[in-house]
Chains A and B, each alone.
Chain A
Amino acid sequence: MAENGEPWGASEAELDPVEYTLRKRLPHRLPRRPNDIYVNMKTDFKAQLARCQKLLEGSGGARGQGGCPEIYIHGLGLAINRAINIALQLQAGSFGALQVAANTSTVELVDELEPETNTREPLTRTRNNSAIHIRVFRVTPK
């Protein structure tokens, strides 16, 4: 899938440090608010679920903050499944007090291919990945 001029089996560009620029920088229009949770596949699932639960209970019980009792769960690529799982389990365990709403988007990831031999300019490869943003919010029972 390489779009450079070299054949894929070229021995020059060996190293492939995958640069998930998203790990380094959050969306620039959205600095990490306290109610943003980014889900990944490395951290234990139960730990992430517990963290979301604590955040929801905390934000629901906090007084005088003026913020909405809602959290945003973000998942990228393979973590989309996990994000959906967390959100749905939160909803299921809340006895109808929580609602979920999901949005999707595309995120650009940049790979940098470093040539192993001497100074050749590094190649960059841009690819797209899907992301999901799930809003979990408290609703007042009617």
Chain B
Amino acid sequence: MWPQRLPSSVTLGTVKIPGPAMENYQKASSVEKPLAPPVPGLPPDTLEMRVRDGSKIRNLLGFALGRLESESTRRIVFTGAGRATGKAVTCAEILKRRLPGLHQLTKLHFQQTEDAWVPVVPEAGLDPLTVRRHVPAVWLLLSKDPLDPNEGGYQPPGAPPGLGQPLPRTPPHTPQPKRRGPRASGHWQGSGGGSRGETSRRP
């Protein structure tokens, strides 16, 4: 149980406050600290897609594709934080596969959120709480026009992710699956789509 005397600001990580402990409080507001765009100088016709935890990828992509194909925008920014981070990355990946030839810029940051919790029943001794959370967040820019290749996080269209140089003189890696028998083997897929995984065959 939360003690009733708490400092008025509590910093937590990404852990959700468990239910029974906060039954005396309800959330009054949740304010996200606005983020300055990591890349300055974006043209104002950039479409900004804020991906939330409950966003449906189908809806997001339908809108984004419509705008891109109709030439009304040439750049799209996907932003997602916390649980929506993976979803934002997935949106961008699917978009890249549907529309080849997009340049990508990926930036990472922490997103600060301040939640204000007020007591449900205004009892004396329960202070309003301010909970500050910071969660990992991603900022993804997809552009039809070429971007600066020296910028950190740049990925040219259709290229596999820049993973640096492989080691020289390394023996080919052929492990056996730990389960039973040879199985289907997938492999890393570059961002340009292309060949799918191999089909599986049973012995």
Q: Give residues in A with beta carbon < 8 Å to B.
A: 17, 19, 21-22, 24-33, 68, 70, 72, 77-78, 80-81, 84-85, 87-88, 99-110, 112, 121-122, 124, 126, 128, 130-135
Question: In the complex, are the beta carbons of B82 and A33 less than 8 A apart?
Answer: no
Question: In the complex, are the beta carbons of B187 and A110 less than 8 A apart?
Answer: no
User: Does B138 sit at the interface, judged by CB under 8 A?
Assistant: yes
Tell me, in angstroms, the Cα distance from A53 to B75 when the chains sit together: 36
Question: In the complex, are the beta carbons of B140 and A106 less than 8 A apart?
Answer: no
Tell me, in angstroms, the Cα distance from A21 to B165 when the chains sit together: 23
Question: In the complex, are the beta carbons of A21 and B184 less than 8 A apart?
Answer: yes
Return A53 CB to nearest CB of chain B, in Å. 17
Tell me, in angstroms, the Cα distance from A70 to B164 when the chains sit together: 10
Which stretch in B21-29, B40-48, B152-160 binds the other chain? B152-160
Output the nearest chain A residue to B171 by Cβ-Cβ distance. Answer: A31
Return B39 CB to nearest CB of chain A, in Å. 13
- Give the A-B contact count at a CB cut-off of 8 A: 159
List the B side residues contacting A112 at CB < 8 Å.
Answer: 183-184, 200
What 3 A-B pairs are tightest by C-beta distance, nearest first?
A101-B152, A103-B161, A27-B188
Given A31-B167, A106-B93, A112-B200, answer yes or no on A80-B191 (Cβ-Cβ < 8 Å): no
Question: In the complex, are the beta carbons of A107 and B186 less than 8 A apart?
Answer: yes
Known contacts A107-B188, A110-B197; 6 further A-B pairs (Cβ under 8 A): A21-B183, A80-B85, A104-B155, A108-B186, A109-B186, A112-B184
Question: In the complex, are the beta carbons of B85 and A106 less than 8 A apart?
Answer: no
Tell me, in angstroms, the Cα distance from A109 to B162 when the chains sit together: 21
Question: In the complex, are the beta carbons of B197 and A104 less than 8 A apart?
Answer: no
Interface of B is mostly: loop
Number of interface residues of B (CB under 8 A): 56
Question: In the complex, are the beta carbons of B140 and A104 less than 8 A apart?
Answer: yes
Tell me, in angstroms, the Cα distance from A99 to B184 when the chains sit together: 38
Say which residue of A27, A88, A108 sits within 8 Å of B110 (CB atoms): A88
Tell me, in angstroms, the Cα distance from A27 to B138 when the chains sit together: 24
Tell me, in angstroms, the Cα distance from A108 to B189 when the chains sit together: 7
Output the nearest chain A residue to B183 by Cβ-Cβ distance. Answer: A19
Return B109 CB to nearest CB of chain A, in Å. 7
